[in-house]
Amino acid sequence: MTDDTANTQTEDLTPPRIASPRRIVLGIAVVIVLAVGLTLLISRAAGFSEFVGVLRHADVSWLIVSLVAEVACWVGYAALIRLVVMMDGGLRLTAWHTTRLWLVSLGATRIVAPGGAGGIAVVYWALRRAGLRARTAAQRVLGLNMIVFSIFGILAFIAAVVTMVGFSSAVPLGLTLPWLIIVPAVAIVGSWLGAPARGDQLSDPGDGGWLRRVGAAVMSGVVATRVVLLHPRSHAGPIGAALVYWVGDVISLWAAMRSVGADVPLLGVALAYALGYVTLLVPLPTGGFGAIDAATTFALTALDIPLAEAFAGVVVWRALSFWLPTIPALFELARIRDLGRVMGGYTGGDEVPMESAAAE
């Protein structure tokens, strides 16, 4: 595989502009304004005194469960980054360097970075600094994101199916039916596009321009994701890490709801969580902050949870899932040049494309 940019990494030596001090400060300011505004708006609708009272009587034991589950979520995502990057003879990062890379990508999504694009950009940059060719680095980053969201869709589909067959009648049809339609449709299209002969053709950029190269990189991610899902035994690591990531976050939200006294079924929380998380796919600033909070809160009220309890539980969950890792994430983002020097010490692995495992 050839790549005209393999030996000319000038643009990749400089950290993405998202990591500039001005962007970081601006991003923090925007998040704080959104947080204060959202809290005042929803708590006023719920009854401010009632909302504060629910928070004041939160059960500490459930808060600990929520925190432990959230930590498991973080570990799962960091492990997923490491496992996807090293798939098929790829780059072997240490656990510490993987953790730093996860924090940097997380920090980039915390500031003005629509749809998580900041996190994708810094991981791509870090892999290029490690010596990977542009196409290979793009394959790894896009494959990572497609795998994680594929597992997300599968879990939402399973939760919807289990709910529909009668295990949790308290969950309304509006939280289940979309997943029963959308997930199979996406799976059929992705499987068709990523089939060996077709996938190989679509993932080959040939001599095309930048648009063709981008499309080929995306298709490489589709092919890799198809291979992972069709051969779960051979890719138990990435699949398991993605499961830990999603299940940990859902349990963290469920435990946060229990901490504020909301007696809500786990499946219902999972579907409300899924609906809220979809807003991350919308190109919004600050990693979807505000949209996720509001969407999850109102999805939870569909489970007959009072607005004050629903919002209080979401506030607790987001304090752990969003705010707690933000400080170290922004600290690492500010030190991104040091991470770049560290990544520059790697050799670039064996440069084996992820779709090499697609032979069936």
Q: For all residues of the chain together, what is the average pLDDT? A: 82
At residue 358, does pLDDT exceed 50?
no
- Which pLDDT score, from 0 to 100, does residue 274 have? 93
pLDDT band at 325 (very low <50, low <70, confident <90, very high): very high
At residue 106, does pLDDT exceed 80?
yes
- Which pLDDT score, from 0 to 100, does residue 113 have? 54
Q: Which of 183, 227, 152 is nearest to 219 (CA)?
A: 227
> Could you report how far apart the first and last alpha carbons of the chain are, in Å?
21
Higher-pLDDT residue of 245, 349:
245
**Alpha-carbon span 67 to 271, nearest angstrom:** 20
Higher-pLDDT residue of 357, 29:
29
| pTM of the predicted protein model | 0.85
| C-alpha dist (Å) from residue 121 to 12, 158, 279 | 10, 32, 20
- Which pLDDT score, from 0 to 100, does residue 131 have? 86
Q: Which two tokens stand for residue 125?
A: 């940059």
**Alpha-carbon span 145 to 152, nearest angstrom:** 11
- Which pLDDT score, from 0 to 100, does residue 37 have? 75
Average pLDDT in the 62-71 region? 97
169 Cβ neighbours under 8 A, 6+ residues apart: none
- Which pLDDT score, from 0 to 100, does residue 28 have? 73
- Which pLDDT score, from 0 to 100, does residue 213 have? 78
% of the chain exceeding 90 in pLDDT? 32
Q: Which of 97-106, 197-206, 212-221 has the highest mean pLDDT?
A: 97-106
Higher-pLDDT residue of 212, 312:
312
Lowest mean pLDDT among 49-63, 138-152, 159-173: 159-173
Structural contact between residues 332 and 107, judged by C-beta atoms closer than 8 angstroms = yes
At residue 211, does pLDDT exceed 70?
yes
**Alpha-carbon span 166 to 172, nearest angstrom:** 12
- Which pLDDT score, from 0 to 100, does residue 300 have? 92
% of the chain exceeding 70 in pLDDT? 84
At residue 287, does pLDDT exceed 60?
no
pLDDT band at 295 (very low <50, low <70, confident <90, very high): confident
